[in-house]
């Protein structure tokens, strides 16, 4: 988990040395970009430490109406990768629209496919009591399990697609925005 931080510190020293030894704007920008990439990677690693453990089952259509957006079809993400959540995650409706990355850990008859799936919360679990932490659409469940009838043990983490970090360093205003797969960096002279 945090074992990579000595490596990050070494990278920071190298970048700081490069910054001091080269005065051109381009080399400063490259140093800043390198620091930001290291920073972004470390942010991602720190967030993985806070993953939760729960259970997942699947549910069949119809998927509307939902507690979040009623009968609106635009509430469903592409690929129909969405979930209902139990009372523990529902948060009095604040869970609507939250995104989670989850992976199957285990289940009866080895149902896990491996890999992860990103899902969006669209509803409160309709059954009482709720059969699992997350009740997944068939498409989402199929992404991580060989069997739609399985009850999975899952690991999940909430994530945001627009995390913004502002850093003021060496006379530059640097804005870093990243999602799960891409890093966007813009820098401007202050």
Whether the predicted pLDDT of 5 surpasses 90:
no
Whether the predicted pLDDT of 8 surpasses 50:
yes
Q: Which residue has the tokens 């800043």?
A: 32
Q: 181 phi and psi, to 5 degrees? A: -125, -15
Task: Report the distance separating Cα 93 and Cα 20, nearest Å.
Answer: 51
How much is the pLDDT for 189? 47
Q: Mind listing the domains of the chain with CATH numbers?
A: 5-48+161-189 (no CATH), 52-159 (2.40.40.10)
Sign of CA dihedral 123, 126, 132, 133: positive
Q: Do 86 and 134 meet the contact criterion of CB atoms below 8 Å apart?
A: yes
How much is the pLDDT for 166? 42
Whether the predicted pLDDT of 162 surpasses 90:
no
The whole-number average pLDDT for the span 12-40 is 62
How much is the pLDDT for 51? 87
Tell me the average pLDDT of the chain. Answer: 78
Band of residue 124 on the pLDDT scale cut at 50, 70, 90: very high
Band of residue 159 on the pLDDT scale cut at 50, 70, 90: confident
Burial string for 66-75 (b: 16+ CB within 10 Å, else e) reads bbbbeeeeeb
The whole-number average pLDDT for the span 161-180 is 47
Whether the predicted pLDDT of 169 surpasses 90:
no
């Amino acid at each position: 988990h945090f074992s990579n931080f000595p490596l990050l510190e070494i990278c920071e020293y190298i970048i700081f040395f490069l910054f001091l030894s080269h005065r051109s704007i381009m080399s400063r920008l490259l140093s800043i970009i390198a620091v930001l990439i290291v920073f972004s990677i470390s942010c991602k690693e720190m967030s993985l430490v806070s993953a939760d453990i729960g259970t997942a089952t699947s549910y069949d259509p119809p998927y509307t109406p939902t507690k979040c957006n009623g009968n609106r079809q635009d509430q469903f993400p592409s690929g129909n990768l969405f979930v209902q959540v139990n009372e523990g995650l529902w948060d009095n409706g604040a869970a609507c629209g939250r995104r989670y990355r989850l992976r199957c850990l285990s289940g009866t008859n080895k149902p896990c496919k491996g890999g992860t799936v990103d899902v969006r919360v669209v509803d409160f679990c309709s059954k009482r009591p709720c059969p699992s932490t997350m009740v997944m659409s068939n498409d989402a469940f199929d992404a991580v399990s060989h069997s739609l009838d399985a009850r999975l043990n899952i690991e999940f983490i909430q994530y945001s697609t627009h995390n913004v970090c502002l850093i003021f360093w060496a006379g530059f205003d640097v804005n870093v925005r990243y999602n799960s797969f891409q890093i966007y960096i813009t820098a401007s002279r202050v």
